[in-house]
Structure 1
Amino acid sequence: MPTSAQRSRLDAATEHLDPPVAVVDLAAFDRNAEDLVRRAAGRPIRVASKSVRCRFLLERVLRMPGYEGVMSYALPEALWLVDEWADTDLADTDILVAYPTTDRAALRALAADERARRTVSIIVDSSEHLDFVDEALGADHPEIRVCLELDVSWRPLGTASVHVGTRRSPVFTPEQAGRLAAEICARPGFQLVGVMAYEGQIAGLGDNPAGNPLLRTALRWMQRRSARELVGRRGAVVRAVTDVWELEFVNGGGTGSIEITRADPSVTEIAAGSGLIGPTLFDNYSQFSPLPAVVFAVPVVRKPAPDIATLLGGGYLASGPAGQSRLPRPYLPGGLKLLGAEGAGEVQTPVTGPGARALKVGDRVWMRHAKAGELAERFTEYHVLDGDKVTHAVPTYRGEDRSFG
């Protein structure tokens, strides 16, 4: 629970800064990183950069025990990281681009960069992706590392008519995976190195929604059965693929499914990133509670009523299905909530509740974002809180003039 001491610490550390301002608490970030490693129980963690979007934080966590590799969300991002890390201890970092690319210029840059070709892998889930690479680079292109993505959604009726999970790969069965693996290996210019399987219906749905016991029961029932089915199918897929080619890695999971994913013997590594930051969407999980490591402050600019304080801006909405869960949430001082009629807005965000009466013009309200990495698209820098002091500022991707999505 948020406390007045936490608010005093943040206010005092940033009193020389005018809000809006975003802060990363290194103690909370490091504690979250250690907790992810504890939960993974020996499985290496591949850091999902989409959930971080700050090179300082990526580099910090990659140098911690238990972390190996990056799950990038765009090929230009991966190429940029390769360049930035070329003369550092992170030069050999393995980078998996976790979403298919249709960026011809980036593919040409990858093909032309021998160092990048050694460390960067791209996702494919169909012959069409292979055809696109051939068309972009020419039939005699250098060997490109590729990772086959498996659809690990749950089909309770055994057919595609009922689909529980994200809409990603068309590859669902071991037979489909084996055929695509054989095609990849038979085509010149491609090297099959891995399989990725993200169980979004488990990792991305909190199993402990507040105030809704019926939904909680339904989610846990679904996730137990989905996990049971997935262990058998993912293992069969890996066997079908390794009958064709030896793999370097099998990636699965996310912050919300680590305990379930690590129990699958076919998985060699786990993807995670949001758990480092601790956004509000991870408040509804029963097995872990990340600390809010990145928070932002916006100022009070109006008092339209004694029990309402209006903040400047703050309407940093998260992606996904539109709804209350995608809105930022007042964090400090405690006892604040958004107004249902306005929510969080681009130019103003009214808050109410017991804590609003004591707020005055010029005070700051600390907020938490709903999703981890997307806050970095709103700020060019994070101010680093080390102990009780802000020691310096570090650029986000946006602050380095990088935007990949």
Structure 2
Amino acid sequence: MEKFIEAFQHIERPFAWLDYEALDQNIDFVNALATKPVRIATKSVRSVNVLKYIQRKLNNCAGFMTFTAAESIYLIEQGLDHLLLGYPTFEENSIKKLLAYSKEGKDITFMVDAIEQMELLQNCAASLQTTANICIDINISTDYKWIYFGTKRSPLDSIQKLKNLTDMLGDYPNVRIHAVMGYEAQLAGVPDLSHVASTKMRAKGVLIRRLKKQSLEKITAFRRLAVAHVKSIAALAFVNGGGSGSIAYTCAQKEITEITVGSAFFAPALFDDYDSLQLQPAVGFALRVTRQFDSHTFVCQGGGYIASGAIGEDRAPVFLNKQYQLLPLEGAGEVQTPFLDASASLKVGDTVYLRHAKAGELCERFAVLHCTRGKSYEGPILTYRGEQQCFL
């Protein structure tokens, strides 16, 4: 934090910051661990300039996984290519724009897991006399009956369901299988919690690590069978899997040709509790202390940047200084945030530095990331919001 004092002394609070040294270390970590090409998850970054920076630094970049059709169009207009839409889309006008770009030679793949999605792509592609490349999203979550371990997204959780979908492809001549994705969310997106302090969270961590270990066999067997089935009817350009929390495991899988990574570059607070990751906090925000309630309780302006997902204390921002803690009955507030300073060393007017629980969501709050390298201010970088873009 001391290195920020000089670099950011002229910046009005609140502001979002990016530490280039930490970002570079995280990119180096991914480069060292990923033995297969890396596709960058744009939702975890949400800044065109930072996306391009990471792309240049990666040893082998497969392209980008985007989160909406409108975002994909914008990124193409900014010079990016090799886009995999990570989620199905039903926005007809945007689909047609993307297909027009694809017809001109851009590499664009649409995600599907249902016939309704293919029908729309067929109609749009036929109207433009072109072909829509699709990636079939299989569900490799683990259903233990007593607990569903993974994500409830794609319904394609069996070979029969997958076959039912692929058997219909003959009715859609303008849709072509291009890829398969099997995302092991229960490994890549769930913290291990082996170093947490509370007894309740430690017990949860023991269960999570056990479930992860038991999931491995099902993930491997089903994804390989699914990929083999699709390969029997179509040549695949790539098979995508993984995420920041499962880089080594996913890269070791024979059927996988590329891995998606996003959060590892910024290292948000939720990724502090992954046993396999050694990352440095690269992005966060700074708030001004504007009040002192008592000797240990201070108030800063702003701070209510709560992450999406299941409601819980792990969705709140965290302080870089571990001696500062949010109040359990107030949390991070919309316009002001009270907190405890165990050292009682703060004073009104000081700055406190925090990190968001998730990676790219902070960029929806700030137009600019103020960048530092060491103690030097490197200037501002626009986020999507700063570029006047809002996709979700």
TM-score range, shorter chain: over 0.9
* Counterpart in the other structure of 1:327: 316
Does residue 26 of structure 2 align to residue 51 of structure 1? no
Superposed CA deviations along residues 314-364 of structure 1, whole A, max 9, x for unmatched, are 1100000111000011113x4000001100011111110313x22111111
* Counterpart in the other structure of 1:344: 332
Mark the CA change 1:140 to 1:116 in structure 2 (over 3 Å): closer, same or farther.
closer
Superposed CA deviations along residues 148-201 of structure 1, whole A, max 9, x for unmatched, are 0001110235xxx85221111111122322332343365111121101111111
Checking the alignment, whether the CA contact within 8 Å between 1:282 and 1:289 is kept in structure 2 is: no
Checking the alignment, whether the CA contact within 8 Å between 2:39 and 2:61 is kept in structure 1 is: yes
Q: How does 1:1-400 map to 2 (within 5 A)?
A: 7-40=1-34, 42-64=35-57, 65-85=59-79, 93-114=81-102, 118-135=106-123, 141-157=129-145, 162-184=147-169, 186-209=171-194, 210-211=196-197, 212-332=201-321, 334-355=322-343, 357-400=344-387
TM superposition shift of 1:296: 0.8
Q: Which runs of 5+ in 2 are unaligned?
A: none
Checking the alignment, whether the CA contact within 8 Å between 1:111 and 1:141 is kept in structure 2 is: no
Q: What one-letter code is carried by the residue in structure 1 that aligns with 2:271? A: F
**TM-score, with normalisation over the residues of structure 1?**
0.92
Superposed CA deviations along residues 249-300 of structure 1, whole A, max 9, x for unmatched, are 1100110111221222111111111000010000111111210000210000
Q: What one-letter code is carried by the residue in structure 2 that aligns with 1:358? A: S
Checking the alignment, whether the CA contact within 8 Å between 1:185 and 1:192 is kept in structure 2 is: no
Q: Aligned-pair RMSD on alpha carbons?
A: 1.7
Mark the CA change 1:148 to 1:117 in structure 2 (over 3 Å): closer, same or farther.
farther
Checking the alignment, whether the CA contact within 8 Å between 1:175 and 1:240 is kept in structure 2 is: no
Superposed CA deviations along residues 77-126 of structure 1, whole A, max 9, x for unmatched, are 111111111xxxx5xx3110001111122012123334566311110101
**TM-score, with normalisation over the residues of structure 2?**
0.94
Aligned to 2:106, what secondary structure does the other structure show? helix
Aligned mates of 1:239, 1:318 — CA distance in 2: 37
* Counterpart in the other structure of 1:3: none
Mark the CA change 1:296 to 1:207 in structure 2 (over 3 Å): closer, same or farther.
same
Q: What one-letter code is carried by the residue in structure 1 that aligns with 2:62? A: E
Q: What one-letter code is carried by the residue in structure 2 that aligns with 1:344? A: A
Q: What one-letter code is carried by the residue in structure 1 that aligns with 2:279? A: P
Mark the CA change 1:395 to 1:343 in structure 2 (over 3 Å): closer, same or farther.
same
TM superposition shift of 1:128: 1.0
Aligned mates of 1:247, 1:181 — CA distance in 2: 14
Superposed CA deviations along residues 120-146 of structure 1, whole A, max 9, x for unmatched, are 111010111112334556666421111
Q: What one-letter code is carried by the residue in structure 1 that aligns with 2:44? A: S
Aligned mates of 2:169, 2:14 — CA distance in 1: 49
Aligned mates of 2:6, 2:292 — CA distance in 1: 23
Mark the CA change 1:68 to 1:137 in structure 2 (over 3 Å): closer, same or farther.
closer
Aligned mates of 1:111, 1:47 — CA distance in 2: 21
Mark the CA change 1:98 to 1:245 in structure 2 (over 3 Å): closer, same or farther.
same
Mark the CA change 1:194 to 1:365 in structure 2 (over 3 Å): closer, same or farther.
same
Aligned mates of 1:184, 1:54 — CA distance in 2: 37
| Percent identity for Structure 1 against Structure 2 | 33
Checking the alignment, whether the CA contact within 8 Å between 1:19 and 1:299 is kept in structure 2 is: yes
TM superposition shift of 1:38: 1.5
Aligned mates of 2:128, 2:232 — CA distance in 1: 27
Checking the alignment, whether the CA contact within 8 Å between 2:319 and 2:352 is kept in structure 1 is: yes
